[in-house]
Copies of this chain bind each other. A is one copy, B any other.
């Protein structure tokens, strides 16, 4: 069985990893779709698709499963989004997502979606981690060590703090 897990991963954190470990119990192969792949350098999407890909790959290697990590640029047309996603991915049997729109769109297309149990969502949340980064709080314990390395290498915290003062080009 091949399972698809879709998220934005801004950044990838231990909550995401717990979901992946859960999916690994059910699926033979895992596809991770990186949503809003075209976005970066904004307060809600600070990291590029390539940076997020580097964050995720470490975690996936440890699962001992065949996996794919695929950037999925937004199409701005919800009505064709499922067809768009399917054309970019190898065939999959099941979608894991807790995003209401993703669930709705796949359900209308007749594709089964499972809502993974969220792992301590009040702590492990991209929004919360980005806020900690901007506030100068310690976010490192909330993500895998490999993610810390990627973020430090690209100067991610400084980037986020700078653009938090204005993330529109002008």
Contact = CB atoms under 8 A, between A and B. Distances in A.
A6 B103 CA distance: 32
Number of this chain's copies in the complex = 6
A35 interface: yes
Interface of A: 6-8, 35-42, 48-51, 53-54, 57, 61, 66, 68-71, 73-84, 86-91, 99-105, 108, 155, 159, 162-170
10 contacts: A6-B169, A41-B101, A50-B86, A53-B88, A71-B71, A80-B80, A80-B87, A100-B163, A101-B162, A101-B166
Contacts of A163: 100-101, 104
Contacts of A54: 90-91
Nearest to A54: B90
